[in-house]
């Protein structure tokens, strides 16, 4: 019996290996020399950069590039473009780098870039939204002209978006099935050699990449393995079984900080965990009162939340824009301190007075609301609940699946929910999404008349300083009306082995996992 079972198991494993169930079969351990191993929460679902669940991953692993790139300080730098310049309020000129080629060797010229953007818009609804109203024309083999429907000072941010990676359209046409490693034809420093969806991606250095070669021992091959379980990723990092491990759970931070052979990098993300509020909630009518919303915001001790919920890997966000490194002034806007006295006064003014039981009430109704958290925001919700409880506010906290959060919103049956929009990109547009009358992120359907004018100013003001001033006014308006209470950027805990040099702590995680300039010890 046991001999039979042994034979069955051996046969099945052989079949597994033949069938490629384990991907390329590359080692999961930290390999010497020019091999880099990554253990990540998710890899791309396909190899087609026009698929929306694929693009950011391809960028993250150094396979794909866009015309521009958002840098760690929040500014935009040309990537495949040599320069991107606004030549008129509604016109941008893109000059491509000379001699850039796709992985197949095909030239990256203006016609190829235009075809790539057109295909992306046709195949990917979300990218189509980014490109809506744009007209791209080829001026010469290296030059594109991009015209917009109106003034667009932030188009360079749009062209840096991961959904707009430049790919060789010819390689993706005429396929009958999903793109395989041989079809993937992009421009990054690494090209695909093997792919098992949701399991493993293997890459090798692109010898024809346009950028400089790394000094010292550079990375020649990369194995990226998907490890969905956060605890397993933490163990991989602690055991040194991968060079770079992303999205580590907060519970593992103390152990990994003490672990030898790795550096735990905790760059706060360029997004702000915000508690969005519903002023139309029939359950919590107090949230319709701006003073109540402001009081809740002043009562948050952000230092404490960042320390406890973020395991010290994040920082307070006094205002929504504070997580955008390009606007350091935003740190001085909004709720710059923990002020429970001001919070109490605002609630008193609003009629929500403290009773002998330590709870606030008005006309016999307690000041209470429901807070839904999801994803990595569970601990944040718990700390906030305790802090608001100290103010005399009762918070019914629930940690749920994000789809339940969305459904509650669609039904209008919610009081407060956490969410974290990215703060990097076309900032006026991001504010419009949250505060504009038709914004999909304006969950509470706030009607704020000043928003349209400020967005207009942020887009059309003649100088960069004036546009930045309008953006900061939008940020101040957000803090005044409080459609949401900013708390902290999402922490990004990444373990990087000591033998890897050149890691850049970037507020966008998809920009930092694989750097072309990495060098390796041993």
Partner 1 sequence: MPPLPSPPSVRTVTSALARETAVTAGLLLAASVIVFALVRSAPGDPVDVQLGEAGGIGLSHADEDRIRAERLAELGLDRSIPEQYVRWLARMAGGDWGTSYRSGQPVLTEMLDRLPASLALGAAGFAVALVLAVALALLASRRPDGPVDQLLRLVTLATVAVPSFLLGTLALQVATGAVGYRIAGPATVDRLWLPALVLGLAAMPTMSRVLRASLIAERGRLYAVAALARGASPGRTLLRHVLRPATAPVLILGGLAFASLVTGSIITEAVFTWPGVGLYAVEAISAQDYPVVQAYVLLATALVVVVNRGVDLGARLVDPRGDASAEAVA
Residues 28-67 that bind partner 1 (CB under 8 A): 28-29, 39, 45-46, 48, 51-53
How far is Cα 394 from Cα 359, in angstroms, rounded to an integer?
Answer: 7
**φ and ψ at residue 329, rounded to 5 degrees:** -60, -25
**Mind spelling out the 3-state secondary structure of 6-74?**
HHHHHHHHHHHHHHCCCCCCCCCCCCCCCEEEEEECCCCCCCCCCCCCCHHHHHHCCCCCCCEEECCCC
How far is Cα 13 from Cα 7, in angstroms, rounded to an integer?
Answer: 10
Minimum CB distance to partner 1, residue 231 (Å): 6
Determine, following the binding rule CB under 8 A, whether residue 228 of this chain makes contact with partner 1.
yes
How far is Cα 38 from Cα 8, in angstroms, rounded to an integer?
Answer: 32
Of the candidates 102, 352, 421, 446, which one interacts with partner 1 according to CB under 8 A? 421
The answer to whether 347 and 292 have CB atoms below 8 angstroms apart is yes
Nearest to 495 by CA among 29, 40, 35: 40
Residues 65-124 that bind partner 1 (CB under 8 A): none
How far is Cα 405 from Cα 410, in angstroms, rounded to an integer?
Answer: 9
Of the candidates 66, 148, 187, 225, which one interacts with partner 1 according to CB under 8 A? 225
Residues 143-162 that bind partner 1 (CB under 8 A): 161
Nearest to 64 by CA among 55, 72, 75: 55
Of the candidates 385, 398, 406, 519, which one interacts with partner 1 according to CB under 8 A? 406
Question: Which range touches partner 1 (CB under 8 A), out of 2-10, 102-110, 378-386, 514-522?
Answer: 2-10
DSSP code at position 395? E
By rule CB under 8 A, what string of x and - marks binding of each residue 457-496 to partner 1?
----------------------------------------
Determine, following the binding rule CB under 8 A, whether residue 433 of this chain makes contact with partner 1.
yes
How far is Cα 518 from Cα 218, in angstroms, rounded to an integer?
Answer: 6
**H or E element: which one contains 488?**
strand 484-489
Residues 496-515 that bind partner 1 (CB under 8 A): none
Nearest to 319 by CA among 301, 306, 332, 303: 332
Determine, following the binding rule CB under 8 A, whether residue 366 of this chain makes contact with partner 1.
no
How far is Cα 36 from Cα 264, in angstroms, rounded to an integer?
Answer: 17
Interface with partner 1 (CB under 8 A), residue total 75
How far is Cα 455 from Cα 473, in angstroms, rounded to an integer?
Answer: 10
Minimum CB distance to partner 1, residue 106 (Å): 24
Residues 127-146 that bind partner 1 (CB under 8 A): 129-130
Minimum CB distance to partner 1, residue 145 (Å): 23
Residues 239-258 that bind partner 1 (CB under 8 A): 239, 241-242
Determine, following the binding rule CB under 8 A, whether residue 426 of this chain makes contact with partner 1.
yes
The answer to whether 478 and 320 have CB atoms below 8 angstroms apart is yes
Minimum CB distance to partner 1, residue 349 (Å): 34
Q: Which is nearer to partner 1, 403 or 463 (CB)?
A: 403
Minimum CB distance to partner 1, residue 461 (Å): 19
Minimum CB distance to partner 1, residue 394 (Å): 26
Residues 320-339 that bind partner 1 (CB under 8 A): none
CA atoms within 13 A on the CB side of 225: 24
Minimum CB distance to partner 1, residue 180 (Å): 10
How far is Cα 455 from Cα 289, in angstroms, rounded to an integer?
Answer: 25
Q: Which is nearer to partner 1, 278 or 294 (CB)?
A: 278
Report the Cα 261 to chain-centroid distance in Å: 28
Minimum CB distance to partner 1, residue 109 (Å): 28
Determine, following the binding rule CB under 8 A, whether residue 451 of this chain makes contact with partner 1.
no
How far is Cα 169 from Cα 176, in angstroms, rounded to an integer?
Answer: 15
Of the candidates 118, 303, 401, 466, which one interacts with partner 1 according to CB under 8 A? 401
Of the candidates 77, 88, 122, 126, which one interacts with partner 1 according to CB under 8 A? 126
The answer to whether 381 and 399 have CB atoms below 8 angstroms apart is yes
Determine, following the binding rule CB under 8 A, whether residue 231 of this chain makes contact with partner 1.
yes
Query: Would the CA dihedral through 256, 258, 260, 265 be positive or negative?
Result: positive
Q: Which is nearer to partner 1, 191 or 490 (CB)?
A: 490
**H or E element: which one contains 98?**
none
By rule CB under 8 A, what string of x and - marks binding of each residue 184-223 to partner 1?
------------xxxxx-----------------------
Query: Would the CA dihedral through 201, 202, 206, 210 be positive or negative?
Result: positive
Q: Which is nearer to partner 1, 353 or 433 (CB)?
A: 433
Minimum CB distance to partner 1, residue 271 (Å): 7
């Amino acid at each position: 019996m046991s001999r039979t079972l042994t034979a069955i198991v051996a046969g099945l494993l052989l079949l597994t290996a033949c069938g490629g169930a384990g991907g390329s079969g590359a080692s999961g351990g930290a390999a010497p020399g020019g091999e880099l191993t990554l253990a990540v929460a998710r890899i791309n679902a396909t190899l087609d950069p026009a698929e929306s669940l694929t693009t950011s991953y391809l960028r993250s692993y150094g396979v794909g590039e866009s015309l521009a790139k958002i840098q760690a300080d929040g500014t935009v730098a040309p990537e495949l473009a040599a320069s991107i310049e606004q030549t008129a309020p509604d016109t941008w000129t893109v000059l491509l780098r000379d001699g850039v080629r796709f992985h197949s060797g095909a030239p990256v010229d203006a016609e190829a870039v235009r075809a790539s953007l057109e295909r992306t818009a046709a195949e990917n609804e979300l990218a189509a939204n980014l490109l809506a109203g744009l007209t791209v024309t080829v001026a010469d083999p290296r030059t594109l002209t991009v015209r917009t429907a109106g003034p667009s000072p932030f188009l360079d941010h749009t062209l840096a978006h991961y959904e707009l990676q430049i790919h060789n359209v010819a390689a993706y046409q005429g396929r009958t099935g999903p793109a395989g490693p041989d079809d993937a034809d992009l421009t990054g420093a690494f090209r695909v050699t093997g792919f098992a969806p949701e399991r493993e991606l293997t890459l090798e250095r692109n010898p024809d990449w346009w950028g400089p070669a790394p000094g010292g021992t550079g990375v020649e091959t990369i194995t990226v393995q998907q490890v969905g379980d956060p605890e397993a990723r933490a163990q991989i990092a602690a055991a040194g079984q991968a060079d770079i491990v992303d999205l580590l759970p907060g519970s593992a931070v103390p152990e990994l900080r003490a672990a030898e052979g790795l550096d735990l990098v905790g760059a706060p993300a360029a997004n702000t965990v915000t508690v969005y509020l519903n002023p139309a909630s029939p359950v919590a009518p107090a949230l319709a009162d701006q003073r109540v919303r402001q009081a809740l915001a002043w009562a948050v001790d952000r230092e404490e939340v960042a320390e406890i919920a973020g395991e010290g890997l994040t920082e307070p966000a006094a205002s929504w824009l504070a997580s955008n490194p390009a606007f350091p002034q935003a740190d001085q806007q909004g709720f710059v301190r923990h002020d429970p006295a001001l919070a109490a006064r605002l609630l008193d003014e609003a009629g929500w007075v403290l009773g002998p039981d330590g709870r606030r009430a008005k006309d016999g109704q307690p000041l209470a609301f429901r807070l839904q958290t999801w994803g990595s925001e569970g601990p944040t919700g718990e700390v906030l609940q305790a802090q608001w409880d100290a103010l005399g506010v009762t918070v019914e906290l629930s940690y749920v699946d994000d789809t339940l959060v969305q459904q509650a919103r669609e039904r209008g049956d919610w009081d407060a929910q956490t969410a974290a929009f990215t703060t990097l990109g076309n900032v006026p547009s991001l504010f419009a999404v949250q505060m504009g009358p038709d914004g999909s992120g304006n969950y509470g359907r706030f009607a704020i008349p000043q928003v349209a004018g400020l967005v207009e100013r942020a887009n059309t003001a003649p100088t960069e300083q004036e546009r930045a001033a309008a953006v900061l006014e939008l940020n101040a308006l957000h803090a005044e009306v409080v459609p949401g209470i900013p708390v902290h950027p999402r922490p990004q805990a990444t373990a990087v082995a000591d033998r890897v040099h050149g890691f850049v702590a970037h507020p966008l995680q998809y920009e930092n996992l694989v750097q072309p300039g990495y060098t390796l010890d041993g």
